[in-house]
Amino acid sequence: MRAQGFGYAYPVAPAPQSKQVWELRNAGLGVLSNMPGAAKGVACIEDTAVAVTDLPAYIGEFEKLMAGFGQKSVYYAHAGDGELHLRPILNLKKTADRVQLRQIGEAMARLVKKFGGSLSGEHGDGRVRAEFIPLMIGEKNYELLRRIKRAWDPNGIFNPGKITDAPPMNTSLRYEPEQQDKPFDTVLEFPDGILRAAEKCNGSGDCRRLDFAGGTMCPSYRATRDEKDSTRARANALREFLTRSERANPFSHRELYEVMDLCLSCKGCTSECPSNVDMAGMKAEFLHQYYKTHGVPWRTRVFANIGGLNRLGAYAPALTNFFLKNPAVAPLLKRVLGVAPQRSLPAVRPSLRRWFEKSGGVAAYRPGKRPRIFLLR
C-alpha cells in the first residue's frame, strides 16, 4: 500500500499490541455513545452498504451531503464489506433536529440508491428506514410486499407499521419536541446528570446475551428471560419517568422500583455494555430517592444490618436457630423479610472468638491432624 501510495499511515501492531487494536474496536461504540450533551450520534442511517469499489466516491458524496445539512457524522464501520455505520449528531429533543433527521434519512436513501447499495446492509428496515422501502425497491415491488403482508395478516395486528405502511421516521419518537430536561439533585455524582447516564443506552440489547455468549451481563435477564429485567429496560424506564413524570419526586414510581428490583448491582453492564451503562450506580441513586418518599423497608434495614443482628443472635444460638428453623416460625419470617419460601434461613453459630475461648484456646490444636488457622485480635 505504501509503494502504491495508498493511505496515509502504515502502523504495524505485532502482538501483544495487536490486542489493543481489537480493544479499540470493541470500545468504539461506547466512545460514540458517551458523547457529552443532549446531541448524540443517532442511529438513523447507520446500516448503509455499497460495493467496496464505490466506497471512496460514496463517502465523498456523503460528506458533501452532510456539509449541506451543517452536519458532521460519526463513522463506525466494517468498511471491508462496504458497510458503514453513519450517525449524524442530532438532539431529538429539538424540533429542527427532528425535521433534519427525516431530511437526512431521505437524502441518504437516494444516495444509497444511486450507488445501487442497501439502506439496511446488515440489520433490518424495521421502523426507522421502512418508509424509504418504496424508494429503494420501487413501488411495484413494494406493493407486492404489502399484498404478502395483507395475505398473512389481514387485520394488521402483527408488528403494524413495520416494513409496510410505516409512518414517517420522525413521528412517535421517545421525546416530545422542545422537551426541556429537568435538573435532578442526586447524591451520587453523574458527570452529565443521571438522565444522560440513562440515555447512554443505545438500545442494542447486548444485555440480553445468554449464558453461552460468556460474560456476566445481565444476570437478572439471564435468570428470567424477561425484557423488564434487562439493563436496557431499566435505562428505558428511568428515562421515561425522569422525563415524563409529573410527580415532585419522579423516582417514586412503583413501576420503576419493580424494574430495578432484580438488578444485582453486579456492575456487569459497566464493563460489558458497549455504551458502558452503569446501572449499579443508577440503582443506588434510584433507591435513595425512592426511599425518600416511601421510607426504607424493614427488609432492607434487616439485610443492611445483618452483621450486627447475627452477632446478637450468636449470644444465644440455640434460641435464635429455633426461630430460624422452626417450621411454624421460619415461613412467617421469610414472608416478612421477602425471602423466597424455598430458601432456608442460615443458622447462626457462636462467634469464633467465643468458641475459641470456650475451647480453651490451644486445646483446639491437634498434633498430627490437618493444621488449622485461627484468626484472633
User: Cα dihedral sign for 206, 208, 209, 214?
Assistant: positive
Place of cell 440503582: 283
Residues near 125 by beta carbon (within 8 Å), at least 6 away in sequence? 119, 133, 162, 163
Binding residues with ligand SF4: total (CB under 6 A): 15
Residue 146 in contact with ligand SF4, rule: CB under 6 A? no
How many helices, marked H, and strands, marked E, lie in the chain?
A: 16, 4
Q: Cis link prior to 263 (omega < 30° from 0)?
A: no
Residue 27 binds to ligand SF4 (criterion: CB under 6 A):
no
Please report whether residue 267 would count as binding ligand SF4 according to CB under 6 A.
yes
* Binding piece for ligand SF4, criterion CB under 6 A, among 52-60, 173-181, 211-219, 345-353: 211-219
Minimum CB separation from ligand SF4 for residue 293, in Å? Answer: 22
- In the list 30, 219, 317, 350, the residue contacting ligand SF4 (rule: CB under 6 A) is 219
Q: Which three cell numbers, joined as nine digits, stand for 89?
A: 449528531
Using the Cα atoms of residue 130, residue 135, residue 140 and residue 141 in order, give the sign of their dihedral. Answer: negative
For residue 265, state whether it binds ligand SF4 (rule: CB under 6 A): yes
Residue 228 CB, nearest approach to ligand SF4 (Å): 12
Q: Residue 27 CA to chain centroid, in angstroms? A: 15
Per CB under 6 A, contacts with ligand SF4 among 221-260 are 231, 234
∠ CA 300-306-312, nearest 5°, is: 135
- Angle CA 79–80–83, to nearest 5: 40
Q: How far is the CB of 209 from ligand SF4 (least distance, A)?
A: 11
Judged by CB under 6 A, which of 218, 237, 256, 259 binds ligand SF4?
Answer: 218
In the list 266, 284, 309, 345, the residue contacting ligand SF4 (rule: CB under 6 A) is: 266
Minimum CB distance to ligand SF4 smaller for 77 or for 264: 264
Query: Could you tell me which stretch among 69-77, 148-156, 217-225, 359-367 binds ligand SF4 (CB under 6 A)?
Result: 217-225
| Binding interface with ligand SF4 (CB under 6 A) | 217-220, 231, 234, 263-269, 279-280
